[in-house]
Amino acid sequence: MAEEVDVVVIGLGPGGEDAAGRLAEAGLSVAAVESRLVGGECPYYACVPTKMMVRAAGLLADGTRIPGMAGDSIIRPDWAPVAARICDEATDSWNDTAAADRLTGKGARLVRGEGRITGPREVAVGDRVFRARRGILLNTGTSPSAPPVDGLADVPFWTNREAVQATEVPESLLVLGGGVVGVELAQVFSRFDSRVTIVEAGDRLVVNEEPESSELLRQVFEREGIGVRTDAKVTAASYAGGEFNLHLGEETLTADRLLVATGRRPNLKGLGLDAVGLDENARQIDVDGHMRAADGLWAIGDITGKGAFTHVSMYQASVAVRDILGEEGPQAAYRAVPRVTFTDPEIGSVGLTEAQARDQNLPVRTGLAPIPESTRGWIQKVGNDGFIKLVESTEWGVLVGATAAGPAGGEVLGALAVAVHTEAPTGALREMIYAYPTFHRAIETALAALDG
């Protein structure tokens, strides 16, 4: 016999967990279904543990910057406290008891297992069937994917999941993929004395960011001893004698470990989307401004294709919860989605890049201010690489995109995200008073460069 509930939430990543808890606190009967860890990828394998790694690597870098500035230093990297902190503080040894108790404490019913849609407003989990009076909310996220390289499937490579569980740093590391995950982890392991080479098929690193960001990271990485191979076509991969090999035609790169960071695939197969008229082979689930994918079906998070970020999933959860509860509120809007690559320097971006704006036939002009030329950058002296780039619509007189690259670039981004989100006139931004001497004061210089 089917169990009657108000809502079934399938997938308890950050957005799904938040939505299930909110709906339960609102008095609805909620079945929250999860086959892995409550909380999803972010707290166990991505956002939180990787930023602990970045923080530790940053401390080592700061230590190397002391000579000539504040005395002398001897740096001896030790991965043990990093691994211990991830295990003990971030993930509780990859145990989700605390998260599960938090969710059930709000009144949701936690159901362990794979959820499959078997009909409109109906979900099967093993031999249990749930009928949802209001509907189903999907938040199944994504999983690491590997490219179809000959031999790669037979190689015991790392993904981000294995990398954050590492108890030792490999002496050498090949990183296949120069996107966000690849560049962040490459720099982390390099700063812990691993010999690292990034292998990227495209013509530059972090291809979704401004070209200036790509070039900045290349320059910094090469200065730090990280190999950067772009336009690299990997023809085969192999593993023998404890060594990982990437074959680039006649050339072979070898290392003690291989990290594959070439993207992620949506977890849609086996979800039963055909039972509600949707295609499980699609790259994403299309949703409207209320996060509705079909009658009685909502979707949030990575599977919607609106940005694979925890903050997007949480934002969409709020929109979906309002709609499920029948509450009024604004529809989802994505013109000012912020994103941060936590390298050193940090790359914080919001809205459109210059190329994206031009692809949309928007008339734009740009302004760029190098951080080293700012007063705060000059004071910083070492570790001051970066810039601020603004993309202005000349028709509307507002910023449609911006990048803050440099020390605390993700934090400097806050001011620019507000400007893009509120569509603040650039004239008004020019009239602002920018604190001196700060990194964000370079925004004023970039605004002046729009007229150059």
The annotation places the binding site for NAD(+) at 177-184, 200, 263
Q: Are 388 and 404 in contact (CB under 8 A)?
A: yes
Measured in whole angstroms, how far is the alpha carbon of residue 154 from the centre of its chain? 27
3-state helix, strand, coil in the chain (%, to 5): 35, 25, 40
- Known binding residues: 51, 115, 177-184, 200, 263, 302
H helix and E strand count, the chain = 14, 22
CA–CA gap between residue 151 and residue 154 (Å, rounded): 6
For 368, phi then psi, to 5°, come to -130, 135
Q: What is the DSSP letter of 418?
A: H
3-class DSSP state for residue 306?
A: coil
Long-range Cβ contact pairs of 110-115 (< 8 A, separation 24 or more): 110/32, 110/34, 110/38, 111/31, 111/32, 111/33, 111/34, 112/33, 112/34, 112/35, 113/33, 113/35, 114/35, 114/270, 115/8, 115/10, 115/11, 115/33, 115/35, 115/271
Tokens of 329: 């509120």
- Known binding residues for FAD: 51, 115, 302
- Residue given tokens 């291809």 in the structure block: 207
For 3, phi then psi, to 5°, come to -95, 130
For 138, phi then psi, to 5°, come to -100, 135
DSSP-assigned states of every residue in 89-144 = IISTTT--HHHHHHHHHTTPEEEES-EEEEETTEEEETTEEEEEEEEEEE---EEE
Q: Which of 341, 379, 372 is nearest to 445 (CA)?
A: 372
Q: Which of 44, 109, 93 is nearest to 310 (CA)?
A: 44
For 330, phi then psi, to 5°, come to -70, 150
Question: Would you put residue 384 in left (φ > 0), alpha (ψ -120 to 50) or beta?
Answer: alpha
3-class DSSP state for residue 84?
A: helix
